[in-house]
Amino acid sequence: MRKSFLLPIILLTMQSCAQTNDYNLIIGTYTNTGKSEGIYTYNFDTKTGDSKQLSVAKGVENPSYLTLSPDNKFVYAVNETGKTSAVSAFSFDAIKGALKFLNKQATNGEDPCYIVADEKNVISANYSGGNASIFGIESNGSLGKLKQIVQHSGKSVNKDRQNSPHVHMVFFTPDHKYLIINDLGTDKVYLYNYNVNGTNNVLAPHDSVAVTPGAGPRHITFSKDGKYAYLIHEMDGGITVFSYSNGALEKIQETKITEDGFTGENGAADIHISPDGKFLYATNRGSENKITIFAIEKGGLLSKRGQTSTLGKGPRNFAIDPTGKYLLVAHQYTNDVVIFERDTQTGELKDTGKRIEVGAPVCLVFAPKK
């Protein structure tokens, strides 16, 4: 009797341990290329780097960027479609890796290119509109009506790309008291007070920080302890390092993701820190198609450790799996996700030879399978 009682417990324990290797990998894409059908979900094994397609949410226009709700039950996607741009809400079955469309709301700002969510609000960064849209969340996870639009104004020195504001990212500070809005068009990083329960006053101006004219601020990420922020510039391939405290960003370092003497075309795209907080990675498109590796030193400062080809064209978003073992790069123009293995001691990347073939991938989001 004792053996028969213990056997189910042992089997359940083994099953639970096995499941911890597996995560959902949700991929946002451009559907207007004709090579993608929508939002794809894969099972990703963090022990082997193997992946398997689970589902595809079809009929979604250009869901180029995605975000996951804090409770892992909903996914919100931008619909980057010019004047008809919107944000869509989906329920998410984490066990099956399946999305179910709930509703969508117009952003009233053209070409949303980034999106964040917490328990109460969904916020999109609308690139061509030069604004950010804030939506409430209904009890079933669907999007409520538009609460607020924050409109930027101004321009910067590049007449071809900076004649008007271009909001490229919205991002919560680690203390969740402020929302950062990066504006490529005005060369500024804006901080807004965040009133999570607000009805039409969710965001209120707090501060702004100017970067090098013509730099084009794109994405930002924070150190594991929340004391430092790292801003990548799309147009000059630079990174600005800030110290952060109580809604204030203070510059402490300027560096480049390119090698000395680089004269090619920049198109810096994405920036992330490894889960252990030791290394920072940044991608560059343009004529580079490379990813640069930095070590994070004492005081949050960066030291460059090397560069490697991303082995594709148009590296946009990339993601490091939750265990820190693999780094995945989405290539918009070669229609694949390249899977690298990370050396956790040196930060170096090694091609696994494994690929996920998917049309025009732009955004990669890992999600627990529970």
Q: What is the pLDDT of residue 69?
A: 98
- CA–CA separation, 342 vs 352, rounded Å? 10
Residue 119 placed within a domain = yes
187 and 41 in one domain? no
Does any domain span residue 253? yes
Q: Do 39 and 116 sit in the same domain of this protein?
A: no
- Sheet-wide strand order for 98-106: 66-68, 74-79, 86-93, 98-106
3-state helix, strand, coil in the chain (%, to 5): 5, 55, 40
**pLDDT averaged over the chain?**
95
CA distance 281 to 315: 12
Q: How do residues 127-144 score in pLDDT, each as one tens digit?
A: 999 999 999 999 999 999
Q: Is the same domain home to 269 and 367?
A: no
Q: Which residue type sits at 236?
A: D
Residues 197 and 255 in one domain: yes
- Which domain, by its residues, includes 176? 61-313+337-352
271 located within any domain: yes
Q: Is 249 found in the same domain as 124?
A: yes
Ordered strands of the 336-342 beta sheet: 315-320, 326-331, 336-342, 349-357
In a domain, 15, yes or no: no
Give ∠ CA 166-62-144 in degrees, rounded to 5: 75
pLDDT digits (tens, 9 = 90+) for 30-79: 999 999 999 999 999 999 999 999 999 999 999 999 999 999 999 999 99
Query: Residue 13 falls within a domain, yes or no?
Result: no
Give yes or no: residues 244 and 103 share one domain: yes
User: Residue 3 pLDDT > 70, yes or no?
Assistant: no
Q: What is the pLDDT of residues 290-345, one digit of tens each?
A: 999 999 999 999 999 999 999 999 999 999 999 999 999 999 999 999 999 999 99
- 123/44 same-domain check: no
- Looking at the domain assignment, is residue 145 inside a domain? yes
Q: What does the pLDDT read at residue 19?
A: 52
Closest CA to 131 of 116, 156, 111: 111
175 inside domain = yes
**Domain harbouring 185, CATH code:** 2.130.10.10
125 and 270 together in one domain = yes
Q: What is the pLDDT of residues 226-248, one digit of tens each?
A: 999 999 999 999 999 999 999 99
- Given this model, what pLDDT does residue 20 score? 76
What is the number of structural domains in the chain?
A: 2
In sequence order, what are the residues at sequence separation of 6 or more whose Cβ sits closer than 8 angstroms to the Cβ of residue 270? 219, 232, 282, 283, 315, 316, 317, 318
Q: Is residue 284 part of a domain?
A: yes
Q: What is the pTM of this model?
A: 0.94
Residues 128 and 53 in one domain: no
**pLDDT for 75-117, tens place per residue?**
999 999 999 999 999 999 999 999 999 999 999 999 999 999 9
Q: Are residues 156 and 269 in the same domain?
A: yes
Q: Is the pLDDT of residue 13 over 70?
A: no
* 182, 321: one domain: no
Are 324 and 209 members of one domain?
Answer: no
